[in-house]
Amino acid sequence: MMKQNMSNLLERIIQLNPFDAIVVLQYTEQQYVVQCANCKAVHLFNCSFNEGMDAEQFFHQINWPEVKQFILQNDQEIKRIRIDDAEIAVVLQTIIEQDEEYIVVIMRSLVASPIIDEQSLHIMGSAYYDELTELYNRRALNKQWTDEDNFKKTSNIALLLVDLDRFKKFNESLGKQRSDQLLFEVSERFKGLRSEYCEVFRHNGDEFVIIFHYEELDEVETIAYNILQSLQEPFIVDNQEYFITASVGISLATIEERDLDILLHQADQALFYMKNNGRGHYCYYSEELNHYFPNEALMEAHLHRAIELNEFTIYFQPQVNLETNKIDSFEALIRWKNRKFGMVSPAQFIPIAESSGLIISIGEWVLERVCRYQKEWRECGFKPVRIAVNISPKQFKQKDFVNRVAALLTEYNIEPRYLELEITESSMSDLYETTSILRRLKELGVYVSVDDFGTGYSSLSYLKEYPIDIIKIDQSFITDIEKDQKNKAIVETIILLAQNLGLEVIAEGVEETAQEQFLRESNCQKVQGYLYNRPLPAEQIVEQYFH
């Protein structure tokens, strides 16, 4: 079986260099023997080929000691040899597979290519290999996909798109050199998946593509399981253990129906779903995912013009003051009704806006629109209310953010105490930067709240360090509060802690009277949720709460 796998590997090396003469050598029993040679090499040296023949016999037309010296030098410099009146460029590559070492001799006639430089080295020797991981690259994937001989093994094919979870944190923490080392170690484990029926490619960054030929679906289950299991043991970098997990999207096709672009797209949709629903596992593509995740590129294109086409609206969710049983504040929430997709969930378009950078202009639109509503309502004689606006981490860290807030307060003549800016823990990673921004906001007189309190690791530390006014208890603690004693204890502790620090507390996601009763007894100041009202458009807010 090992010999068969090796034969397939060496054949693929020859297939991936279709325009060059290729000879594969192995050093055994004190001599170099020829394991493989393509027809171009046989024609070039005018010699019949037999597997295992002596290399000197095969290269009888040239100076074999000269080629042998090239091998011993063990570099990838372009060499030149002569055959009769023709000059030949030679590049050598060493491949180690299953503890066996092979020397690949790649040759090109300079009659056809009289100019050859370092770029030609890449073309001749490394065009189909990823330099960092020593795996096949995307070009090799495209090349193999068009080779019909690669699709005669089974009836079906699976494309598995593997993405390393949160690998960006390793880049940021370890630096490029060490994170590259980590990526190489991951690739080494993935190489163990290779077989006659399975090949691994580096696709992009920390993404890998695995092409697997199968007959029964449980074989795909096995290979997906093996991918995840290969990462179970820790990776050691500078004597420190690191743990890596991966998410896998899987698309399936018959050999006859295979289409690389379609399978990659489907696997990417499955991967996206997996990364947003737990990570660290695998997910098959299905038609239902099209409803969960329409074409992201198309959605982003529509998102670019959503402001221009007036597709965004602001909804407001009331916040009830449990001390007075009145509503004197709201949270502003953006909604998107697109001409193609209809109503698009914020859970769907906000991540796209974040990753594309559109969240900055969208966030500014929301902030400006809320300030405009404040002015309109004041001019109508309505009672003043505080409105909370969600601020994305990217928007919060813009250099002119505080100045922009100040300009809007002046332009719409708004009392700062009626504007609340909700930030998340991810906005507060840099102590110095965050403290500086928050102090300037406090000098303006606006309120600052921290959303989803209790879900992060540094919640207590930023209560101590940062000048904030309000904490919002995440709805995950409220959902089962009447039957989960631990959630009860956590919520009671948060409320007591906030009171001792002079902070206001708002509980999110209140849907049942028993939840409200518990929060009232625990002295929580404010609540919001479907028990009181869903988010409503401005017109209904005015009708229900201002008249």
Give CA angle at 200 (196, 204), nearest 5°. Answer: 160
Is residue 4 very low, low, confident or very high in pLDDT (cuts 50, 70, 90)? low
Dihedral sign for Cα atoms in the order 168, 169, 175, 180: negative
Q: Write the DSSP symbol of residue 384.
A: P
pLDDT at 5 over 60: no
The Cα–Cα gap between 34 and 51 comes to 6
Is residue 14 very low, low, confident or very high in pLDDT (cuts 50, 70, 90)? low
Is residue 174 classed as helix, strand or coil in its secondary structure? helix
What is the number of H-type helices and E-type strands within the chain?
A: 22, 23
Q: Phi, psi (5° rounding) for residue 474?
A: -60, 145
User: Which of the residue ranges 233-237, 315-319, 507-511 has the most confident prediction, judged by mean pLDDT?
Assistant: 315-319
Per 3-state DSSP, the chain is made up of helix, strand and coil in percentages (nearest 5) of: 45, 25, 30
The Cα–Cα gap between 528 and 516 comes to 10
Dihedral in degrees, nearest 10, Cα atoms 61, 64, 69, 74: 80
Is residue 22 classed as helix, strand or coil in its secondary structure? strand
pLDDT at 333: 95
- Look at the block and give the residue holding tokens 């001019």: 379
Q: Determine contact, residues 475/447, Cβ cutoff 8 Å.
A: no
- Which is more confidently placed, 222 or 463? 222
Q: Name the token pair of 101.
A: 């070492």
- Which is more confidently placed, 352 or 429? 352
The Cα–Cα gap between 443 and 449 comes to 15
Find the mean pLDDT for residues 136-146. 82
Q: How remote is the C-alpha of 160 from its chain's centroid?
A: 15
Radius of gyration of the chain (CA): 32
pLDDT digits (tens, 9 = 90+) for 406-464: 999 999 999 999 999 999 877 776 778 888 899 999 999 999 998 877 655 445 666 77
pLDDT at 209 over 90: yes
Dihedral sign for Cα atoms in the order 39, 41, 44, 49: negative
The Cα–Cα gap between 347 and 269 comes to 15
pLDDT digits (tens, 9 = 90+) for 321-351: 999 999 989 999 999 988 877 788 787 788 8
pLDDT at 182 over 80: yes
Q: Determine contact, residues 411/372, Cβ cutoff 8 Å.
A: no
**Residue 326 one-letter amino acid:** K
pLDDT at 457: 46
Q: Phi, psi (5° rounding) for residue 226?
A: -65, -35
pLDDT at 120 over 50: no
Count of Cβ atoms closer than 10 Å to residue 39 Cβ: 11
Q: How remote is the C-alpha of 335 from its chain's centroid?
A: 25
Q: Name the token pair of 477.
A: 């603690």
Strand partners, 389: 332, 421
Burial 158-180 (b: 16+ CB within 10 A, else e): bbbbbbbbebeebbeebeeebbe
CA distances from 419 to 208, 360, 439, 444 (A): 47, 19, 16, 10
Q: What pTM was computed for the model?
A: 0.53
Q: Determine contact, residues 246/206, Cβ cutoff 8 Å.
A: no
Is residue 15 very low, low, confident or very high in pLDDT (cuts 50, 70, 90)? low
pLDDT digits (tens, 9 = 90+) for 258-298: 889 889 988 988 888 788 777 888 888 877 666 555 567 77
pLDDT at 112 over 60: no
The Cα–Cα gap between 18 and 2 comes to 25
pLDDT at 172 over 80: no
pLDDT at 117: 43
CA distances from 220 to 150, 207, 242, 244, 286 (A): 18, 19, 28, 22, 15
> In the Cβ-directed half-sphere of 46, how many Cα atoms lie within 13 Å?
5
- Output the 3-class SS for 165-184: CCCHHHHHHHCHHHHHHHHH
The Cα–Cα gap between 115 and 402 comes to 59
Is residue 94 classed as helix, strand or coil in its secondary structure? strand
Q: Write the DSSP symbol of residue 20.
A: S
The Cα–Cα gap between 203 and 208 comes to 5
Strand partners, 240: 237
